[in-house]
Structure 1
């Protein structure tokens, strides 16, 4: 039985809830296998999110790590391809830190590629009627920091990646694009179910 670590984030920037944690908890409440599912809610803070994530990875030795977070303003679910070695915060994190042009890991590589089957997941989500797209980079805030950290904290054969979610209907500010809460949970469940599928290489070249 594979162990899948699934994470969401606590609220930030004045919001009462974070749809990523809501979706993760909804999936966990109804999950019936076939994997062993481990869930965690991460703080929206650079240092403490990395520390918490590494601790959970060390404790459970997952076969797959799927992190999720909020990309408010996006209308689609975005499967991220790259975590970059950069912290450049538009707003302070929940611990009050606001790094600018700083490295996630001073001695780390410039970027790390997600090892989730990213195109396969986008195709799967789309086939199930969910708006989904590939996204090149997870940005430079805590979501990206978690993706970059996770990829460096697991063995090379551990499937790892990040999925950005739009606002849910129940959490969206006025006029913000959103998807129904149950659709976000359905999307996250599909990612869990298909994260360990073998990726089929795109015609003519690399899956990346």
Structure 2
């Protein structure tokens, strides 16, 4: 169906969807939420960034994500989540078909050893050029690396759901990035937990988006781990 904008000769808006999570685990803030909201409305390589904040709830989070994808029809989706204890931005490489929660979600649900999708594959790969993105972020002065485990909590749940959804949208690429604590969160831990300033994280995700839009294939560089 031809839209009114297309009929008038105006090209459809090209978008990048960035999602974050609401606070969880007793925290009053979530850096992934703040980053997503800070980026909303910005333009990267001619694409407009749109953002959504997902509930930190198994099931409900993936339904909200699917709704956001239908709403915005993005060409790129980057989901963000908090990874307290990590020092830099970490680009997740693989989502596994497992919910095994170390703590209840925000609805009080705590699945243990449950598949996300009973008939689904054991894992999905990110379709983002994660090595190239990590390299570009590091070159911009932002600590970043490739990660091979998104955990088994709601972040991995959303990452798996994202890649399942994008199977029906082959023109859309997507993946997941974990972000560290904010300084104030680190202080509340009562120990020297790693953190990153919000402007640094926002800039890092901007660089990640620009790189993902620019690279058709990932960089052929070492990015594995011995353990």
**TM-score (norm. length: structure 2):** 0.85
Distance 1:141 1:111, change over 3 A: same
Q: Considering Cα pairs closer than 8 Å and 6+ residues apart, tell me whether 1 or 2 has the greater RCO.
A: 1
Q: Does 1:40 align with 2:40?
A: no
Q: Does 1:196 align with 2:213?
A: yes
Report the counterpart of residue 5 of structure 1 in structure 2.
Answer: 17
My pick for the range that moved more, 112-121 or 153-162, is: 153-162
Name the CA distance, whole Å, in 2 between partners of 1:57 and 1:203. 31
Name the CA distance, whole Å, in 1 between partners of 2:161 and 2:28. 26
Name the CA distance, whole Å, in 2 between partners of 1:5 and 1:141. 22
The CA RMSD measured in Å over matched residues stands at: 1.6
Deviation, structure 1 residue 22 = 0.8
Q: Structure 2 residue aligned with 1:121, among 133, 146, 155?
A: 133
Q: Does 1:162 align with 2:176?
A: yes
Deviation, structure 1 residue 81 = 0.2
Report the counterpart of residue 78 of structure 1 in structure 2.
Answer: 90
> Unpaired runs of 5+ in structure 1?
none
Q: Does 1:179 align with 2:196?
A: yes
Report the counterpart of residue 99 of structure 1 in structure 2.
Answer: 111
Name the CA distance, whole Å, in 2 between partners of 1:101 and 1:186. 36
My pick for the range that moved more, 67-76 or 166-175, is: 166-175
Number of equivalent positions: 203
Report the counterpart of residue 145 of structure 2 in structure 1.
Answer: 133
Report the counterpart of residue 63 of structure 2 in structure 1.
Answer: 51
Q: Does 1:142 align with 2:172?
A: no
Deviation, structure 1 residue 170 = 3.3
Name the CA distance, whole Å, in 2 between partners of 1:26 and 1:40. 11
> Unpaired runs of 5+ in structure 2?
1-12, 223-227
Name the CA distance, whole Å, in 1 between partners of 2:214 and 2:121. 27
Contact kept? 1:170, 1:181, Cα under 8 Å: no
Name the CA distance, whole Å, in 2 between partners of 1:119 and 1:73. 21
Larger C-alpha radius of gyration, 1 or 2?
2
Report the counterpart of residue 112 of structure 1 in structure 2.
Answer: 124
Deviation, structure 1 residue 200 = 4.4
Deviation, structure 1 residue 17 = 0.3
